[in-house]
Chains A and B, each alone.
Chain A
Amino acid sequence: MTDFRTFVLKLAAAFGLPWLFLIVWPAISYQSLGPVAYDKEKGDELDSAYAYPLAAPANKQGAKIYAAEGCVQCHSQMIRPPQIALDGWRKGWGQNQEGRPAEPARASTLRDYFGEQHAYLGITRSGPDLSNVGYRFASRTDVHMHLYAPQARNSWSNAPAYKHLYTVRKIQGLGSAAALPLKGTKFEPKRGYEVVPSVEAETLLDYLMSLKRDYPKPLTQAVAAAPAKK
Chain B
Amino acid sequence: MQTEATTADSNADNLRRAAIDRSVKGPVLFLFTNAAFWLMASTLMGFIAAMKLVSPSVLDCAWLTYGRLQPAHLNALVYGWGIQAGLGVALWLIARRTANEMKSGQGTLIMLGILWNVAVTIGIVGILAGGSTSIEWLEFPKGLWIAKAVIFLVFAFKIVSMAAKPVRTEGFTITNMYVVAACLFFPWLFITANYLLNSLELGALGAGISSWYVHGVILLFFVPIGVGSAYYFIPKITGQPIHSQQLANMGFWVLAIFGGWTGMQRYMAGPLPGWMTSVGAAAGVVLLISVGIVGLNHHLTTLGSHKLVETSPTLRFTFFGALFYPVSGVLLALISAFWTGSNLQFTQAWYGYQIVAVYGFFSMSVFGAIYYIVPRLAGCEWLSVRLIRNHFWFSVYGIATIVVTSVVGGLQQGSSLNDPANWNATFWGVVNNGNAYVSARAVAWALILWSNTWFLIHLMLMVAGLGRRSSAPTLLGHDHDDLPVSEGAKA
Contacts and interface: CB of A to CB of B under 8 A. Distances in A.
Name the interface size band of chain A: 35 or more
B130 A68 contact: yes
Interface in A92-149: 100, 107-110, 112-128
Contacts, number: 222
Interface string B108-138: 0000000000000000000000111111100
A15 B188 contact: yes
A126 B430 contact: yes
Contact of B192 (A24, A119, A151, A158): A24
A37 interface: no
A112 B164 CA distance: 48
Given A108-B271, A118-B207, A69 B130 contact: yes
Contact of B434 (A71, A72, A73, A126): A126
B269 A119 contact: no
Given A73-B67, A118-B197, A84 B204 contact: no
Contact of A69 (B56, B67, B427): B67
Contact of A112 (B136, B180, B271, B413): B271
B70 interface: yes
Residue among B184, B200, B346 having the largest count of chain A Cβ atoms under 10 Å: B346
Interface stretch (A44-52, A160-168, A188-196): A160-168
A121 B270 contact: yes
Interface string B181-199: 1001100100010001100
Nearest to A164: B62
B271 A126 contact: no
Interface string A9-46: 00110110111001110110011000000000000000
A127 B197 CA distance: 26
Contact of B424 (A27, A91, A124): A91
B273 A14 contact: no
Name A's interface SS: loop
B54 interface: yes
Given A125-B346, A164-B62, A80 B164 contact: no
B253 A14 contact: yes
B315 to A, nearest CB: 29
A126 B276 contact: no
A15 B185 contact: yes
Contacts of B188: 15, 19
A176 interface: no
Nearest to A12: B184
Nearest to A114: B203
B203 A124 contact: no
A116 B272 CA distance: 15
Contacts of A23: 192, 196, 209, 212
B225 to A, nearest CB: 15
A18 B261 CA distance: 5
Contact of A27 (B55, B66, B196, B426): B196
Given A12-B184, A15-B260, A125 B347 contact: yes
Contacts of B269: 80-81, 84-85, 107
A212 to B, nearest CB: 15
A188 to B, nearest CB: 15
B52 interface: yes
Contact of B279 (A4, A22, A76): A22
B256 A30 contact: no
Contact of B272 (A90, A110, A114): A110
B422 interface: yes
Nearest to B213: A23
Given A158-B53, A159-B56, A164-B62, 14 more contacts: A11-B181, A15-B185, A15-B220, A22-B260, A22-B261, A69-B130, A73-B71, A84-B342, A86-B417, A100-B424, A118-B202, A118-B206, A119-B203, A122-B346
Interface of B: 52-57, 60, 62, 65-68, 70-71, 130-136, 139, 160, 163-165, 177, 180-181, 184-185, 188, 192, 196-197, 200-207, 209-210, 212, 220, 253, 256-257, 259-261, 264, 267-273, 276, 279, 342, 345-348, 350-351, 413, 417-420, 422-424, 426-428, 430-432, 434-435
5 closest Cβ contacts across the A-B interface? A70-B67, A113-B203, A18-B260, A164-B62, A67-B134
24 contacts: A1-B164, A1-B165, A7-B177, A19-B260, A30-B202, A30-B203, A69-B65, A69-B68, A70-B134, A72-B134, A91-B423, A110-B204, A110-B205, A112-B204, A118-B206, A118-B207, A121-B207, A123-B346, A124-B350, A124-B413, A125-B430, A126-B434, A158-B435, A162-B62
